[in-house]
């Protein structure tokens, strides 16, 4: 299953009574207000709100700002939303795909294969003329049963090894990679050997993902291909999931370092590089 779905494809699936789709609204802003008020004001009809901080991540700590969630908490959230074996899941957010991709990655990592991200998120849905609902659905509970490990997860040491022996992509903005600014974490810079690959370059001017062939060319220019060991990190494991999604759309499997820079930079024993080169 291709990991990205267009607004037109989603509308067609929702209009088909024979199609069984679970919709998850993952609107989220880093450092901003919770997404629930926006969800309650209007969402794609049938969508269930999922809270990224509370249900798609654990408590901040030694594992970074957005470590893996408690598996029981994540399982309960997915069952509450109606996720079950064999059911297709479509996730969306406010546009750039970071939060939606975090949900996509967690479901795929937990063994649920039928999950896609809405290309362009809610703005794309609205741009195609589709409406919203302020009525929260009450889906029948799903039987989602996680089987963790379907996608590769990197530790800090494994991420360092990827930077030395394979390809480790840094999904943050270029100025954070170079160490010119660091608005969140205690140290500026990047993991030595990592290659700058900002997530903004996965999207076109309308906030939609580039076509798979264009994404493949982009990643090939960075040294990443289907036969390459590829890892990805970001600030705290959220935007990097969007990069893993883009790589998957290009046919390139990739591992995620969930702790990312927030975990790496918290340990003063770990080396830090600055500047434009790995």
Tokens of 163: 């930077």
pLDDT at 90 over 90: yes
pLDDT tens, 221-276?
999 999 999 999 999 999 999 999 999 999 999 999 999 999 999 999 999 999 99
- Is beta strand 230-233 parallel, antiparallel or unpaired with respect to 255-256? parallel
Summarised one tens digit per residue, pLDDT across range 100-143 is 999 999 999 999 999 999 999 999 999 999 999 999 999 999 99
Query: Phi and psi dihedrals of 119, rounded to 5?
Result: -65, 120
Q: What is the pLDDT of residues 11-65, one digit of tens each?
A: 999 998 877 999 999 999 877 778 999 999 999 999 999 999 999 999 999 899 9
Whole-number pLDDT of residue 31 = 74
pLDDT score at 78: 98
Q: Per the confidence metrics, is the pTM higher than 0.75?
A: yes
Mean pLDDT of 196-210: 97
CA torsion sign for 51, 56, 58, 60 is negative
Catalytic residues: 234
Contact 170, 194 (CB under 8 A): yes
Torsions phi, psi of 194, nearest 5? -70, 155
CA distance 118 to 11: 11
The DSSP annotation for 75-106 comes to HHHHHHHT--TT-EEEEE-SSSSHHHHHHHHH
d(CA 231, CA 233): 7
Q: Which domains does the chain have, with CATH numbers?
A: 4-127 (3.40.250.10), 156-264 (3.40.250.10)
Query: Quick one: pLDDT at residue 272?
Result: 98
Q: Can you give the pLDDT at residue 135?
A: 94
Digit-coded pLDDT (tens) for 132-172: 999 999 999 999 999 999 999 999 999 999 999 999 999 99
Residue 200: strand, helix, or coil: helix
């Amino acid at each position: 299953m291709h990991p990205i779905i267009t607004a037109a494809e989603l509308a067609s699936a929702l209009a088909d009574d024979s199609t069984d789709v679970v919709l998850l609204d993952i609107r989220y802003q880093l450092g901003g207000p919770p997404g629930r008020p926006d969800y309650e004001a209007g969402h794609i009809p049938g969508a269930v709100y999922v809270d990224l901080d509370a249900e798609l991540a654990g408590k901040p700590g030694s594992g970074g700002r957005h470590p893996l969630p408690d598996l029981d908490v994540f399982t309960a959230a997915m069952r509450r939303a109606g996720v079950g074996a064999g059911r297709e899941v479509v996730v969306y957010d406010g546009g750039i795909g970071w939060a939606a991709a975090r949900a996509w990655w967690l479901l795929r990592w937990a063994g649920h294969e039928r999950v896609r991200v809405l290309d362009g998120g809610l703005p794309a849905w609205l741009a195609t003329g589709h409406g919203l609902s302020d009525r929260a659905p009450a889906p029948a509970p799903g039987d989602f049963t996680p089987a963790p490990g379907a996608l590769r997860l990197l530790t800090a040491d494994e991420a360092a090894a990827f930077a030395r022996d394979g390809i480790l992509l840094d999904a943050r903005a270029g100025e954070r990679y170079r160490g010119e600014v660091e608005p969140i974490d205690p140290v500026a810079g990047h993991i030595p050997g990592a290659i700058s690959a900002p997530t903004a370059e996965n999207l076109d001017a309308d906030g939609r993902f580039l076509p798979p062939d264009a994404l493949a060319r982009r990643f090939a220019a960075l040294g990443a291909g289907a036969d390459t060991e590829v890892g990805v990190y970001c600030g705290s494991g959220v935007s990097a999931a969007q990069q893993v999604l883009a790589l998957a759309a290009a046919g390139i499997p990739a591992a995620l370092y969930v702790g990312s820079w927030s975990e790496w930079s918290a340990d003063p024993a770990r080396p830090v590089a600055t500047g434009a080169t790995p």
